Amino acid sequence: MSKRIAGPEIERLIQLLAKVPGLGPRSARRAALHLIKKKEQLLAPLALAMGEAVDKVRVCSTCGNVDTSDPCMVCTDPRRDETTIIVVEDVSDLWALERATALNTRYHVLGGTLSPLDGIRPEDLNIASLVSRVAEGSVVEIILAVNATVEGQTTAHYITDQLDGMGVKITRLAHGVPVGGELDYLDDGTLAAALRSRTAF
Amino acid sequence: MSKRIAGPEIERLIQLLAKVPGLGPRSARRAALHLIKKKEQLLAPLALAMGEAVDKVRVCSTCGNVDTSDPCMVCTDPRRDETTIIVVEDVSDLWALERATALNTRYHVLGGTLSPLDGIRPEDLNIASLVSRVAEGSVVEIILAVNATVEGQTTAHYITDQLDGMGVKITRLAHGVPVGGELDYLDDGTLAAALRSRTAF
């Protein structure tokens, strides 16, 4: 706001809300006003929940997931298969896979991808801890679920090199036509990969 | 999430964020993850700002605006003209007018519109306090900036009746073509109003 029409606390709330992904300057104002109007039902509980998250959320020292306990719920879940680890770039990928599938595997969050241009080297990612987990001996398969980008594939190759000779099976996600997708709109690379990896009908 | 993959504090944060206007269940998850990753830079300050808002924000007893002081910054601003009051339905309208114009007037926030179907009667709105402000004698003009809806216009007529005989000039916002708008896409009512209220070129 160009003119000051509200106290600094409200303006600060709007400024901070505008930094939340999904909200811009305009929707931050609308969100702030809605929160202020629902002070008891929404603003107070949200402030409390955020405060709790600040106090309790930590990064899992085993897999790199975020949770309120360390090791995280995924690592301590006794029903999960210890022999398979899905390697993902980011916690959001872990959440997406958990929503999509009924797999009961463990995970390993790299925290990014190798990118020499951005100065991200192997020691900046959770790769050494992945090698240690494999070295413990109970892991049979590593599923590389990194993004199908150049950086993702570079990282996948680097990890494969690091795990070479450790007797673990390394797989990656299939390339192909997205379910519900139209061939006409697909890029050539995906179409070619889908054709190469065709399966029996 | 169908399966529990994070502590209850994180799930609660996601649930509450999903109630913020502009965020849905999916974007709330993304927002929560972003906030958790930027714990020190964003989540902690936001939790603090929300806590402060919970403690300090109140409704102005004079005009119905929300602020951290009562009377609010608009009512206590000595540079604003005491003789003109813009009547709006909601605080968001006050903010919108302040952003758009260089008017230095006072405001009066009704807190809604008359709506017999929803059980909203005159005593549920800040109409009596508006009449009191006018009765104090220094107000010369009341600008009714209510929405151009049936409820808004009903409310405007009711307020006009209440202020009848108090010697105050009552005006309303002009109807017309929105700036940058195309005639072809305008509804008939707006076009007819714009033609009726045509001005010299």
SS (H, E, C) chain B: CCCCCCCHHHHHHHHHHCCCCCCCHHHHHHHHHHHHHCHHHHHHHHHHHHHHHHHHCEECCCCCCEECCCCCHHHHCCCCEEEEEEEECCHHHHHHHHHHCCCCEEEEECCCCCEHHHCECHHHCCCHHHHHHHHCCCCCEEEECCCCCHHHHHHHHHHHHHCCCCCCEEEECCCCCCCCCCHHHCCHHHHHHHHHCCCCC
What is residue B1's predicted lDDT score, i.e. its pLDDT? 42
Q: Do the beta carbons of residue A58 and residue A68 sit within 8 Å?
A: yes
Which residues in chain A touch residue B3, judged by CB atoms under 8 angstroms apart? 98
What is residue A99's predicted lDDT score, i.e. its pLDDT? 84
The CATH number for B82-172, chosen from 3.40.50.300, 3.40.50.2300, 3.40.1360.10, 1.10.10.10, is 3.40.1360.10
As a CATH number, domain A66-172 is 3.40.1360.10
- Judge whether residue B187 has pLDDT over 50: yes
Across residues B133-142, what is the average pLDDT? 93
| Helix, strand, coil shares, percent, chain A, to 5 | 45, 10, 40
What is residue A3's predicted lDDT score, i.e. its pLDDT? 61
pLDDT band at A146 (very low <50, low <70, confident <90, very high): very high
Subunit contact A98:B54, Cβ cutoff 8 A:
no
Q: Residue B151 has which token pair?
A: 């409820």
Using the Cβ of A2 and the Cβ atoms of chain B, whether some distance falls under 8 Å is answered with: yes
Subunit contact A22:B19, Cβ cutoff 8 A:
no
At B76-86, the pLDDT tens digits run 999 999 999 99
- Name the architecture of domain A8-56: Orthogonal Bundle (1.10)
Subunit contact A30:B1, Cβ cutoff 8 A:
no
- Judge whether residue A1 has pLDDT over 60: no
Across residues B37-44, what is the average pLDDT? 93
Mutation site, B20, B54, B66, B67, interface A, largest A CB count within 10 A: B20
pLDDT band at A184 (very low <50, low <70, confident <90, very high): confident
Among A132-146, B8-22, B184-198, the range scoring the smallest mean pLDDT is B184-198
- Judge whether residue B2 has pLDDT over 70: no
Task: Supply the ipTM of this predicted assembly.
Answer: 0.81
Which residues in chain B touch residue A10, judged by CB atoms under 8 angstroms apart? 53, 57, 66-68
List, as ranges, residues 58-77 from A with C-beta within 8 Å of B: 65-69, 72-74
Across residues B113-125, what is the average pLDDT? 93
Q: What percent of chain B has pLDDT over 70?
A: 98
Among A42-51, A104-113, A186-195, the range scoring the smallest mean pLDDT is A186-195
Spatial CA neighbour of A106 closest among A120, A91, A86? A86
Q: Where in chain A is the domain with CATH 1.10.8?
A: 8-56
At A65-97, the pLDDT tens digits run 999 998 999 999 999 999 999 999 999 999 888
Phi, psi of A23, rounded to the nearest 5 degrees: -115, 140
